[in-house]
Chains A and B, each alone.
Chain A
Amino acid sequence: GEDVEQSLFLSVREGDSSVINCTYTDSSSTYLYWYKQEPGAGLQLLTYIFSNMDMKQDQRLTVLLNKKDKHLSLRIADTQTGDSAIYFCAESMGGGATNKLIFGTGTLLAVQP
């Protein structure tokens, strides 16, 4: 199947770390992505990880990939109120011109001041 699952909601206090989890299904996905969606807006690519990597760090963002368990996580350090949004993980399927993204169910991150 093509189900990509995420927990629906996460609430944290400003300054704390946030960890958003995702489980995916296609072990052949070459890249996995994290997108951010603010209310009424399109999607912004935050970061991505190549499938042969275990971890990728980009400023406040850390992505961990466990291929064996098909588990992906996004850690946001020092979470700010501006980080409040919906976060989607996505896996790539297919190759070349047929490459497409399958999005997770989305996690609403609420940051309390």
Chain B
Amino acid sequence: GAVVSQHPSWVICKSGTSVKIECRSLDFQATTMFWYRQFPKQSLMLMATSNEGSKATYEQGVEKDKFLINHASLTLSTLTVTSAHPEDSSFYICSARGRTSGPYNEQFFGPGTRLTVL
């Protein structure tokens, strides 16, 4: 159980276009979803936290107008990179936490989406 999927697994786009990445919890209800970005050979940096039914909370330095997050339902969150530029190229990973995450608040991670902006 506790599977999180992401779609697409990789995407290449032209500079200036917008890209939407989906994150789905397949077998549990995700009350909270998280979006991270990871640069090559670096750690995961939390971008935003999204609780179902409320607006996403963005980390300091993350532009909310550039990275639009929608927690549409208890099983789906989307991240839209608007007007993407080459510096937005990165590995984007989502995670989800649900009512079954236990006392240790386990987050279940998706496999990631590799975004390359030309």
A residues touching B (Cβ–Cβ < 8 Å)? 31, 33, 35, 40-45, 48, 50, 88, 92, 97-106
Contact = CB atoms under 8 A, between A and B. Distances in A.
Contacts of B112: 40-42
Given A88-B44, A102-B46, A41 B107 contact: no
Contacts, number: 53
25 contacts: A31-B105, A35-B109, A40-B112, A40-B114, A41-B111, A41-B112, A42-B6, A42-B93, A42-B109, A42-B110, A50-B104, A88-B43, A88-B44, A92-B105, A97-B31, A97-B51, A99-B97, A99-B105, A100-B49, A101-B46, A101-B107, A103-B43, A103-B45, A105-B42, A106-B43
Interface residues of B, number: 27
A99 B49 CA distance: 9
* Chain A interface, DSSP helix/strand/loop, else mixed: strand
